[in-house]
Amino acid sequence: MPPKEGSHYDLPIALGLMAALGAVPGDALSAYVVLGELSLDGTIAAVAGALPAAIGANAEGKGLICPHASGPEAAWAGADIDILAPRSLIAIANHFRGTQVLSRPEASVHVAASNLPDLADIKGQESARRALEVAAAGGHNLLMVGPPGSGKSMLAQRLPSILPRLQPKELLEVSMIASMAGELAGGRLTDRRPFRAPHHSASMAALVGGGLRARPGEVSLAHNGVLFLDELPEFSPQALDALRQPLETGECVIARANHRVAYPARIQLIAAMNPCRCGMAGEPGYRCARGPRCQTDYQARISGPLLDRIDLRIEVPAVSAGELIRPGRAEASAAVAARVLAAREIQQERLDRLGVAATTNAHCPTALIEEIAAPDAAGLTLLRDASEKLGFSARAYHRVLRVARTLADLDRSGTVGRIHLAEAISYRISAERMAQAA
Ligand X SMILES: Nc1ncnc2c1ncn2[C@@H]1O[C@H](COP(=O)(O)OP(=O)(O)OP(=O)(O)O)[C@@H](O)[C@H]1O
Q: Which residues bind ligand X (CB under 6 A)?
A: 122-125, 146, 148-154, 272, 274, 319
Report d(CA 392, CA 117) in Å as an integer.
37
Residue 224 interacts, among ligand X, Mg ion, none and using kind-specific CB cut-offs from 5 to 8 Å, with none
- For ligand X, the closer of residues 256 and 326 by Cβ is 326
CA–centroid distance for 288 within its chain: 36
Point out the residue whose Cβ comes nearest to ligand X: 151
Q: Least separation, in Å, of the C-beta of 17 and ligand X?
A: 57
Residue 403 interacts, among ligand X, Mg ion, none and using kind-specific CB cut-offs from 5 to 8 Å, with none
Q: Least separation, in Å, of the C-beta of 156 and Mg ion?
A: 8
What's 195's DSSP letter? E
Contact 72, 53 (CB under 8 A): no
Residue 350 interacts, among Mg ion, ligand X, none and using kind-specific CB cut-offs from 5 to 8 Å, with none
Q: Least separation, in Å, of the C-beta of 272 and Mg ion?
A: 6
Contact 239, 207 (CB under 8 A): yes
Q: Least separation, in Å, of the C-beta of 423 and ligand X?
A: 22
Q: Least separation, in Å, of the C-beta of 273 and Mg ion?
A: 9
Q: Least separation, in Å, of the C-beta of 336 and ligand X?
A: 15
Contact 93, 23 (CB under 8 A): yes
Contact 353, 345 (CB under 8 A): no
The residues binding Mg ion (CB under 5 A) are 153
Q: Where are the beta strands (DSSP E) in 283-404?
A: 312-315
Residue 148 interacts, among ligand X, Mg ion, none and using kind-specific CB cut-offs from 5 to 8 Å, with ligand X
- For ligand X, the closer of residues 138 and 151 by Cβ is 151
Q: Least separation, in Å, of the C-beta of 276 and ligand X?
A: 11
- For ligand X, the closer of residues 81 and 131 by Cβ is 131
Three-state DSSP class for residue 235: coil
Residue 379 interacts, among Mg ion, ligand X, none and using kind-specific CB cut-offs from 5 to 8 Å, with none
Q: Least separation, in Å, of the C-beta of 433 and ligand X?
A: 20
- For ligand X, the closer of residues 151 and 194 by Cβ is 151
- For ligand X, the closer of residues 83 and 280 by Cβ is 280
Q: Least separation, in Å, of the C-beta of 394 and ligand X?
A: 33
Report d(CA 123, CA 129) in Å as an integer.
10
Report d(CA 425, CA 370) in Å as an integer.
16
Residue 267 interacts, among ligand X, Mg ion, none and using kind-specific CB cut-offs from 5 to 8 Å, with none
Q: Least separation, in Å, of the C-beta of 154 and ligand X?
A: 3
Three-state DSSP class for residue 58: helix
Q: Least separation, in Å, of the C-beta of 124 and ligand X?
A: 5
- For ligand X, the closer of residues 4 and 329 by Cβ is 329
Alpha helices in 122-235 (DSSP H): 126-138, 152-157, 168-180, 204-208, 218-221
Contact 34, 12 (CB under 8 A): yes
Residue 336 interacts, among ligand X, Mg ion, none and using kind-specific CB cut-offs from 5 to 8 Å, with none
- For ligand X, the closer of residues 122 and 346 by Cβ is 122
- Which of left, alpha, beta for 372 (phi over 0: left; psi -120 to 50: alpha)? alpha
Instruction: Quote the Cα angle for 28-33-39, to 5°.
Output: 95
Report d(CA 300, CA 438) in Å as an integer.
4
Residue 154 interacts, among ligand X, Mg ion, none and using kind-specific CB cut-offs from 5 to 8 Å, with ligand X
- For ligand X, the closer of residues 166 and 314 by Cβ is 314
Report d(CA 104, CA 91) in Å as an integer.
13
**HSE toward the beta carbon, residue 259, CA cutoff 13 A:** 7
Report d(CA 301, CA 100) in Å as an integer.
63
Contact 10, 38 (CB under 8 A): yes
Residue 303 interacts, among Mg ion, ligand X, none and using kind-specific CB cut-offs from 5 to 8 Å, with none
- For Mg ion, the closer of residues 85 and 132 by Cβ is 132
The phi and psi torsions of 156 (rounded to 5 degrees) equal: -60, -40
Residue 67 interacts, among ligand X, Mg ion, none and using kind-specific CB cut-offs from 5 to 8 Å, with none
Contact 137, 309 (CB under 8 A): no
Report d(CA 255, CA 274) in Å as an integer.
34
Residue 190 interacts, among ligand X, Mg ion, none and using kind-specific CB cut-offs from 5 to 8 Å, with none
- For ligand X, the closer of residues 274 and 359 by Cβ is 274
- For ligand X, the closer of residues 61 and 322 by Cβ is 322
